[in-house]
Every structure is written in C-alpha cells, then in structure tokens.
Amino acid sequence: MEQDTINLMEGRIMNKIVLISGSNRKGNIEYILSAIKEQILESELILLRNKKIDFCKGCLRCHQVPSCILQDDMSMIIEKIKEAKLVVFGIPNYFDNVSGLFKNFIDRLHPLYKSEELKNKKVIFIFVGGGKEEGTMNSLKESVQGFIKYLQLEVEKEFSFKALNSNDMKQKKKEIEEIIEYIKTQVI
C-alpha cells in the first residue's frame, strides 16, 4: 500500500504545505495554523515574528538577478515557499490592513516578481480581525491584491474570522476543521 494511502487512512495527508503566520503574537492565527499542521503530515509552520527579516532597501538588484543582497532568513523562507505545493498565509487585520510584519515579508518577496518563480503557486489566505468578518475579509483582500497580482499567485480560497482576544479561535474548532477539510479535499 502506498504511503499516501496509509496516511489518508490515518486521517493525515502527506504533501508539502508551508504555513506562514504574519502575526506579531502567539494567538488566533498561530492557533489556526498549528491545528492545520497537526492534521497535515508534511507541513511546516513559519512564524515570521521569530525570523530575522530586514527591510527591503529598494536597490532593485533583484530586477537583474532573482535574489536579494540582504542576508537574513528570507532566503530560506523563499526556498520553502518555492518547494511547497500550497502556501497558507495567516494574516491579522491591523487598521484594515496587513500587519507591518507581513507587509515587510511581502516587500522582501520582490526578487520573485521579475523571475515569476511563484507564478500559479497555490495559496490560501486566512484573515483574522477584531471587527466583523466581512469587513476584515474586504480590507485584507484589498491589501493583498498587489501581492497576488505581481507574483501571479493562484488563490484557492480565503477565510475570514472575527477574533480579537488571543484565545477566541479556540471556540471555533468547527470552522478550523472546515479549513483543514477544504485543504485535504480541494487542494492537495
């Protein structure tokens, strides 16, 4: 019996998924992404807050060579994204926009713009904010439109949740299970 079949029988799937948290704290986004990681065998959770990611210098060297002059954790993160079958971004709503941490991360993906190395990369967005789900969804979808457009990402699905306090998503296990089920049945 093949390994994938064995893993499916155990309720786990074996595929390469990278989960990226754009949150500055251990809270709702990390809770959601950790729950996904527990159910998907070959997945990796990257907490941007624990990585050294310098600010883009705007030197445009990456327009000639698909790499960055800055030496930090971004080169490792970029390689993991390139290898992944699916990338799941967890993004908090800060004043109807992505967090500064996530915006800095987006800026540092600029070397992939000219190279088109992420063209058609499958992605899922999980948006979390303290206001209404619809407002968070609309604001953050607008905030990531350029990111999606210029890197030519293929958006599989977007999820939005109202969760302000760091434990709020613990009360929404059914919704998290729906995300996991969507990934298992629709994407991988």
CATH number at residue 93: 3.40.50.360
* Tens place of pLDDT per residue across the chain (188 aa): 344 434 444 444 445 899 999 999 999 999 999 999 999 878 999 999 999 999 999 999 988 888 889 999 999 999 999 999 999 999 999 999 999 999 999 999 999 988 888 999 999 999 999 999 999 999 999 999 999 999 999 999 999 999 988 889 999 999 999 999 999 887 66
Domain count for the chain = 1
Q: What is the DSSP-derived secondary structure letter of residue 19?
A: E
pLDDT recorded at residue 12? 44
pTM, to two decimals: 0.89
pLDDT recorded at residue 157? 95
The range of the structural domain enclosing residue 74 comes to: 16-187
User: Do 40 and 68 touch, CB atoms closer than 8 A?
Assistant: no
Domain presence at residue 6: no
**Rounded to whole angstroms, what are the CA distances from 177 to 5, 25, 34, 62, 153?**
21, 22, 12, 39, 24
Domain presence at residue 161: yes
Which distant-in-sequence residues (6+ apart) come within 8 Å of 20 by Cβ? 33, 46, 48, 77, 81, 87, 88, 89, 90, 105
**Rounded to whole angstroms, what are the CA distances from 159 to 11, 18, 60, 65, 144?**
22, 17, 34, 35, 14
Domain presence at residue 123: yes
Domain presence at residue 136: yes
Q: What 3 state SS string does 63-126 have?
A: HCCCCCCCCCCHHHHHHHHHHCCEEEEEEECCCCCCCHHHHHHHHCCCHHHHHCCCCCCEEEEE
